[in-house]
């Protein structure tokens, strides 16, 4: 059992220790609730910097923060490492692998997971990058490929080992491609002097007509220019239909011989079992009203990536990014107090603070509500915003120090194969990508 003490305070169960779940838990501090926070990991992951772990720029510990340390001084908050299996909405209880817990209010903040759009072959053979273990797997595989390339005399196999295909040109795909290109330019020629690193290819394949399709036309164009200047091949209006572990095929008939495909082409809400199909929107997100209440419930809420607050201006709901999750979590804390006290709830209004992406050294694009800019200043703004968004002084310091070192020395220190990664069978691959 979860061993949560009984209390005369209303119990709020929060599933998920991501941006939204932690924002809510922190705002409920000393507000006369019993808060139970559940997460399958004992740490919060700063997902925007996962690509730097995957490319050896940062160690995983610098973008992870123990959830218990966040809430350790909060009276009335309990944290449990748990894999939630289903919600019993009728009896108001959460069923997890460690036991069952009843709730007065339930908040689902489970975030999102990789969407392979039903293509099991791609899911089996490609790499996802949504978690720290997945990023470490990518780092190991990239480095192992170069070690293998040293050992083969088969030129075709060598090229396949040194060809990296990234499917999806959103911020994650673009930033990952830029980081790999920086490695190709500054790091790999020194590490592998007996390999012709010029043969290394980085291909970004985008189904839409432009990279960073959620950003402005100007930023999209500049990002593509930055990528191409770094030697990245950008393919737009190309839909990947298959990858068998050796060959990538697209709808138009293009083929890429590669050992490594990194899938960043889509995400979907990580919905928990227990809800009617009518409540689940496109993108596998729970339909919520302007107070983040799941449709049909007054005591069950969803925030962040897993919540679809559909409006006339946002037919797909809010963007699946950190800011909407944080803002929804903060407002929901106020609304839970209002609900408990019998007062009217406040509607959620998203304050769009803009979006940004970096494409390697001194290169980034930033879209703010009123204007757009790119280049060195955008890169500096990107670094500052991400540094300030990390939890904990230690993580801020470690990331800042690593960035300074990498910038001055043209290096990436964390290129370590700590846990060797070999391509797994279908069962373990599916498990790895969940």
> Is the pLDDT at 211 greater than 60, yes or no?
yes
* Residue finishing a domain among 239, 265, 291: 265
SS3 for 231-263, per residue?
CCEEECCCCEEEECCCEEEECCCCEEECCEEEE
Residues 279 and 162 grouped into a single domain: no
Mean predicted lDDT score pLDDT of the chain: 94
Residues 257 and 166 grouped into a single domain: yes
> Is the pLDDT at 358 greater than 90, yes or no?
yes
**Per-residue pLDDT tens for 258-312?**
999 999 999 999 999 999 999 999 999 999 999 999 999 999 999 999 999 998 8
Closest CA to 262 of 120, 183, 166, 180: 166
Residue 331 lies in a domain: yes
CB contact at 8 A, 208 and 171: no
> Is the pLDDT at 424 greater than 80, yes or no?
no
Asked if 175 is an active-site residue, the reply is yes
Residue 135 lies in a domain: yes
Residue 162 lies in a domain: yes
Angle at 251 between CA 248 and CA 257, to 5 degrees: 15
Domain span including residue 141: 117-265
Residue 315 lies in a domain: yes
Residues 141 and 209 grouped into a single domain: yes
Residue 369's pLDDT band (cuts 50, 70, 90)? confident
Residues 121 and 260 grouped into a single domain: yes
Q: Please give the average per-residue pLDDT across 132-146, as a whole number.
A: 96
Residues 246 and 303 grouped into a single domain: no
Distance CA 303, CA 20 (A): 6
CB contact at 8 A, 94 and 15: yes
Distance between start and end Cα atoms, the chain: 25
Distance CA 62, CA 394 (A): 8
> Is the pLDDT at 83 greater than 50, yes or no?
yes
The count of other CB atoms within 10 Å of the CB of residue 152 is 12
Q: Please give the average per-residue pLDDT across 393-412, as a whole number.
A: 94
Q: What is the pTM of this model?
A: 0.93
> Is the pLDDT at 427 greater than 90, yes or no?
no
The count of other CB atoms within 10 Å of the CB of residue 407 is 12
Distances (CA, A) of 319 to 40, 41, 193, 220: 24, 24, 44, 17
> Is the pLDDT at 423 greater than 60, yes or no?
no
Residue 374 lies in a domain: no
Residues 102 and 185 grouped into a single domain: no
* Residue finishing a domain among 217, 243, 265: 265
> Is the pLDDT at 373 greater than 50, yes or no?
yes
**Per-residue pLDDT tens for 151-208?**
999 999 999 999 999 999 999 999 999 999 999 999 999 999 999 999 999 999 999 9
Residues 65 and 88 grouped into a single domain: yes
Residues 154 and 38 grouped into a single domain: no
pLDDT for 426 = 43
Distance CA 33, CA 11 (A): 6
Task: For residue 32, report the phi and psi dihedrals to the nearest 5 degrees.
Answer: 65, 35
Residue 411 lies in a domain: no
Residues 143 and 212 grouped into a single domain: yes
Q: Which of 59, 175, 182, 259 is the catalytic position?
A: 175
Count of the separate structural domains present in the chain: 2
> Is the pLDDT at 422 greater than 90, yes or no?
no
pLDDT for 229 = 97
CB contact at 8 A, 167 and 119: no
- Read off the CATH number of the domain in which 162 is found: 3.50.50.100
* Residue finishing a domain among 297, 321, 341: 341
Residues 332 and 320 grouped into a single domain: yes
- Read off the CATH number of the domain in which 25 is found: 3.50.50.60
Residue 3 lies in a domain: no
Q: Please give the average per-residue pLDDT across 232-237, as a whole number.
A: 98
Residue 398 lies in a domain: no
SS3 for the chain, per residue?
CCCCCCCCCCEEEEECCCHHHHHHHHHCCCCCCEEEEEECCCEEECHHHHHHHHCCCCCHHHCEEEHHHHHCCCCCEEEEECCEEEEECCCCEEEECCEEEECCEEEECCCEEECCCCCHHHHHHCECCCCHHHHHHHHHHHHHHHHHHHHCCCHHHHHHHCEEEEECCCHHHHHHHHHHHHHHHHHHHHHCCCCCHHHCEEEEECCCCCCCCCCCHHHHHHHHHHHHHCCCEEECCCCEEEECCCEEEECCCCEEECCEEEECCCEEECCCECCCHHHEECCCEEEECCCCEECCCCCEEECHHHEECCCCCCCCCCCCCHHHHHHHHHHHHHHHHHHHCCCCCCCCCCCCCCEEEECCCCCEEEECCCCEEECHHHHHHHHHHHHHHCCCHHHHHHHHHHHHHHHHHCCCCCCCCCCCCCCCCHHHHHHHCC
Residues 218 and 310 grouped into a single domain: no
Residues 26 and 142 grouped into a single domain: no
Please tell me the least confidently modeled range out of 89-103, 319-333, 376-390, 420-434. Answer: 420-434
> Is the pLDDT at 429 greater than 70, yes or no?
no
């Amino acid at each position: 059992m979860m061993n949560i003490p009984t209390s005369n305070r209303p119990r709020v169960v929060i599933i998920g220790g991501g941006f939204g779940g932690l924002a809510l838990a922190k705002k409920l501090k000393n507000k006369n609730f019993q808060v139970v926070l559940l997460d399958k990991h004992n740490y919060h992951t700063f997902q925007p910097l996962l690509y730097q772990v995957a490319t050896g720029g940062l160690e995983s510990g610098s973008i992870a923060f123990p959830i218990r340390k966040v809430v350790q001084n909060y009276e009335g908050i309990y944290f449990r490492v748990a894999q939630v299996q289903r919600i019993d909405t009728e009896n108001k209880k959460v069923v997890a692998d460690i036991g069952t817990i009843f709730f007065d209010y339930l908040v689902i903040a489970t975030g999102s997971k990789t969407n392979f759009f039903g293509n099991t072959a791609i899911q089996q053979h490609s790499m996802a990058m949504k978690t720290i273990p997945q990023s470490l797997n990518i780092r190991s595989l990239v480095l192992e490929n170069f070690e293998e390339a040293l050992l083969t005399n088969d030129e075709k196999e060598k090229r396949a080992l040194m060809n990296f295909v990234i499917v999806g040109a959103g911020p994650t795909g673009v930033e990952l491609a830029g980081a790999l290109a920086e490695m190709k330019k500054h790091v790999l020629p020194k590490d592998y002097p007996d390999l012709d690193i010029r043969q290394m290819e980085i291909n970004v394949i985008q189904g839409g007509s432009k990279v960073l399709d959620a950003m402005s036309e100007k930023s999209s164009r500049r990002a593509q220019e930055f990528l191409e200047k770094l030697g990245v091949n950008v393919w737009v209006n190309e839909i990947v239909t298959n990858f068998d572990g050796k060959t990538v095929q697209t709808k138009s008939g293009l083929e890429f011989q590669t050992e490594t495909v990194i899938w960043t082409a889509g995400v979907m809400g990580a919905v928990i079992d227990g809800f009617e199909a009518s409540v689940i929107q496109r993108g596998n997100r729970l339909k919520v009203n302007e107070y983040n209440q799941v449709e049909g419930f007054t005591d069950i809420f969803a925030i962040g990536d897993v919540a679809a607050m559909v409006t006339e201006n946002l037919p797909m709901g809010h963007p699946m990014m950190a800011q909407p999750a944080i803002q929804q979590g903060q407002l929901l804390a106020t609304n839970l107090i209002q609900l408990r006290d019998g007062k009217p709830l406040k509607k959620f209004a998203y304050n769009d603070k803009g979006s940004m992406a970096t494409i390697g050294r001194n290169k980034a694009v930033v879209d703010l509500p009123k204007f757009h800019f790119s280049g060195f200043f955008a890169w500096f703004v990107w670094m500052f915003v991400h540094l300030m968004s990390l939890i904990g002084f230690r993580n801020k310091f470690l990331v800042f120090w690593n960035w300074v070192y990498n910038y001055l020395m043209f290096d990436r220190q964390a290129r370590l194969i700590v846990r060797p990664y070999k391509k797994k069978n279908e069962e373990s691959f599916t498990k790895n990508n969940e």
